[in-house]
Amino acid sequence: MPKIVDVDDRRELVADAVFEVIAERSLTQASLRNVAMAAGLALGSVRHYFDNQGELMVFAFRVNSERIHVRALDKLEALEEEPLPTDTSGLIEKCALVLEELLPLDEARRADAVVHMEFMLDARTNAGLAEAAQDDYRATGAVVGRVVLQLMGSPLAAESLVPVDEAERLIGLLDGLSLRMVLQPDWSAPEQGRATLRRHLHSLLTA
């Protein structure tokens, strides 16, 4: 009996190979041939699951984005389901644990961040990735916005906070921290990123 191949699993295997090529050599080197070699597959096998490189890149971008945001959403759901801490340090810690999933604080998250940055930069001029990039922005905005709303639902929050403004500021902070930690790891250690994030969250609370 011929072996049954799960199409979704095989497509994700190919996406993982895309990530490997990007991490080691950059997005420009993620040709179908190089990806097939990284996946241990024949070029024809990759073409069986993806009609062209553009389709593969969009799929891989969406897989990368989903993995990043699912981690944050798992923590966010726990935050939303439980009563908010009534102390400042507890509230900050609960919110920070969600947002930390969007930062390259360990090897796995750093690998995802490197791939994510390459895709986002390419989407600036690659119309084929534009829709996936917009969906990624929305996903990040949804996570950050929900964290801000949770924080603002606490009596510890400052009265002058505007949800959209604070979400934008927080996204800017996360983007900046991610960029520095990926490009300048010797200067921007994970501990610094965690501390900076917590200082920002503390600034949104009453003195």
CA angle 18, 21, 26 (to 5 degrees): 110
Query: How many structural domains are present in the chain?
Result: 2
Amino acid identity of residue 74, one-letter, is: D
Average the pLDDT over 88-99 and give the result. 97
Res. 24: pLDDT tops 80:
yes
* Phi (first) and psi of residue 92, to 5 degrees: -60, -45
Percentage of residues in the chain having pLDDT higher than 70: 97
State the residue for tokens 């940055």: 117
Residue 44 CA to its chain's centroid (Å): 31
In percent, the amount of the chain with pLDDT more than 90 equals 92
Same domain, 40 and 71: no
Residue 2 pLDDT exceeds 50: no
- Give the separation between CA 153 and CA 92, rounded to whole angstroms: 13
Q: Kindly state the tokens that stand for 195.
A: 């501390």
pLDDT for the residue numbered 113: 97
Average pLDDT of the chain to the nearest whole number: 94
Beta carbons of 39 and 16 less than 8 angstroms apart: yes
**CATH code for position 113:** 1.10.357.10
Same domain, 78 and 160: yes
Residues 116 and 84 in one domain: yes
**Domain encompassing residue 169:** 57-203
